[in-house]
Amino acid sequence: MKIAFVGIGNVGFALADNLSKAGYEVVIAAESPCSDSVQKALARNKNLQYKDLSQGIAWAAVVFLAVPFKVVEQLVPQLDLAGKVLVDCTNPVGPGMTHGMESKQSGSELIQSLAPESKVVKAFTIYGFENFITSDYPGYNGLKPAMLLAGDDAAAKGTVSELCKVLGWEPVDTGSISQALHLEHMTLLWVKMARVQGQGSDFVWARLTR
């Protein structure tokens, strides 16, 4: 599977690094190879490759969008994402840790409207980047941390679910893209607990079933 990352900051690099180590072909798709984030990522993992933004997207089957949400409306319409599985790792955050779209719509739904021929799947949010560096929580008799995802295309969610499993997560399909709003609120909850309240980043959600 060919995977491209648009955005290679803390979240993007953690995921790209681990997917590369798991044996996937991973490229950084960016406007310039000279940016600090691209240079740092290439230095930290020699198996990552750089491709021009449009070339990287054209090459990939799965595209991870891991940019600051504030650039989404300008960036996404410029990209040819038709037919691509588009993994939305972004989060709209407003003043005072509120939802950046006033909870009227999810960021994922906006992205889907900006790239209508793509297959958007909300995933790899709800936690901070530390848990994407490692998802390992030993001592729970094999119970895996949950990665909640949402999207309208079942096959795309299946593809992302397989990537979740490779990275040590139990994928939990929450339903259609409209559910992404609730996942974005879960991200805000995690950040408030971990960072604002000072509880630290070493906790995740898990699903218990009978």
**What is the structure's pLDDT at 91?**
97
Confidence at residue 113, expressed as pLDDT on a 0 to 100 scale: 98
Distance (Å, rounded) from C-alpha 125 to C-alpha 62? Answer: 17
Confidence of residue 159 (pLDDT cuts 50, 70, 90): very high
Residues 56-86 pLDDT 10s:
999 999 999 999 999 999 999 999 999 999 9
> For 114-157, how does the pLDDT look when each residue is reduced to its tens digit (9 = 90+)?
999 999 999 999 999 999 999 999 999 999 999 999 999 999 99
Domain annotation covers residue 17: yes
pLDDT at 87: 99
Is residue 115 packed enough to be buried (19+ CB in 10 Å), middle (13-18) or exposed (0-12)? Answer: buried
In this structure, what CATH number is given to the domain that contains residue 171?
3.40.50.720
Measured CA to CA, the distance from residue 26 to residue 122 in angstroms comes to 19
What total number of domains does the chain contain?
A: 1
Residue 111: the pLDDT is 98
Its domain, for residue 155, covers: 2-196
> Is residue 141 a part of any domain in this protein?
yes
Does the residue 12 lie in any domain?
yes
Residue 93 domain-assigned (yes or no): yes
**Average of per-residue pLDDT values in the chain:** 98
Residue 63: its pLDDT value, please?
A: 99
Position 53 confidence tier, pLDDT thresholds 50, 70, 90: very high
Asked whether residue 159 is domain-assigned, the answer is yes
* In-domain check, residue 37: yes
pLDDT digits (tens, 9 = 90+) for 88-110: 999 999 999 999 999 999 999 99
Assigned domain for 29 exists = yes
Contact 39, 71 (CB under 8 A): no
Phi, psi (rounded to 5 degrees) for 171: -70, 135
Residue 70 pLDDT: 97
pLDDT at 192: 97
Against a cut of 0.95, is the pTM above it? yes
* 209 assigned to some structural domain: no
